């Protein structure tokens, strides 16, 4: 079967339709969609292999990787860097729970990664809700870390293309 690179990459900012946190506060949503010419099982294996090759560990079913990032410019007056980002994923067949946390900071992104087989391969849908539990500044912090989280997702999804 001939492989082709992803043909869809969508990053949607739901600022006009934000998600609601459990505590009633708002969060910032990130949605990324890709398609692959590979079936879901192979995409899952490629995603896990890519993280494992970068030093990810597996503990209690969670695939975990730690990365260091520079402090986003908008936050440099509040936080000194670099920051450690801990990304975790736990699969249940073709759906994974996803957690991305900034170590030592009140910022997290929680959601899912879903693989759906299609006649041409599969689709990959990532949905995350970014929350920063900081009164009056949460949305500013969420907006500042969102590009870093999207970069992490895009880097990881690069492993499913040829």
Q: pLDDT tens digit string along 81-138?
A: 777 888 999 999 999 999 998 888 888 999 999 999 999 999 999 999 999 887 777 7
Query: Span 44-49, mean pLDDT?
Result: 94
What confidence score (pLDDT) does residue 120 get?
A: 94
Q: Between these two residues, 130 and 67, which has the higher pLDDT value?
A: 130
Residue 24: the pLDDT is: 46
The pLDDT confidence band at residue 63, using thresholds 50, 70 and 90, is very high
Confidence of residue 12 (pLDDT cuts 50, 70, 90): very low
Residues near 134 by Cβ (< 8 Å), separated by ≥ 6? Answer: 106, 141
Is the C-alpha dihedral spanning 162, 61, 103, 20 positive or negative? positive
Backbone angles phi, psi at 93, to 5 degrees: 65, -105
136: left (phi over 0), alpha (psi -120 to 50) or beta: left
**pLDDT tens figures, 89-102:** 999 999 999 999 88
At residue 123, the pLDDT reads 95
User: Which comes out higher in pLDDT, residue 108 or 9?
Assistant: 108
Query: What local confidence, expressed as pLDDT, does residue 19 receive?
Result: 46
pLDDT confidence of residue 129: 94
């Amino acid at each position: 079967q001939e492989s082709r690179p992803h043909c869809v990459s969508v990053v949607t900012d739901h600022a006009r339709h934000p998600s609601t946190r459990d505590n009633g506060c708002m969060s910032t949503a990130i949605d990324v969609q890709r398609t692959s010419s590979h079936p879901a099982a192979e995409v899952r294996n490629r995603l896990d292999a890519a993280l494992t090759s970068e030093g990810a560990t597996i503990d209690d079913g969670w695939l975990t990787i730690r990365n260091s990032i520079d402090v986003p410019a908008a936050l440099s007056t509040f936080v000194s860097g670099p920051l450690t980002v801990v990304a975790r994923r736990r699969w249940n067949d073709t759906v994974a729970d996803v957690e991305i946390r900034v170590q030592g900071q009140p910022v997290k992104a929680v959601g899912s990664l879903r693989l759906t087989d299609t006649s041409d391969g599969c689709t990959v849908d990532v949905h995350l809700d970014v929350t920063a539990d900081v009164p009056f500044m949460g949305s500013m912090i969420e907006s500042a870390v969102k590009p870093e989280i999207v970069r992490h997702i895009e880097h990881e999804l690069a492993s499913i293309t040829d």
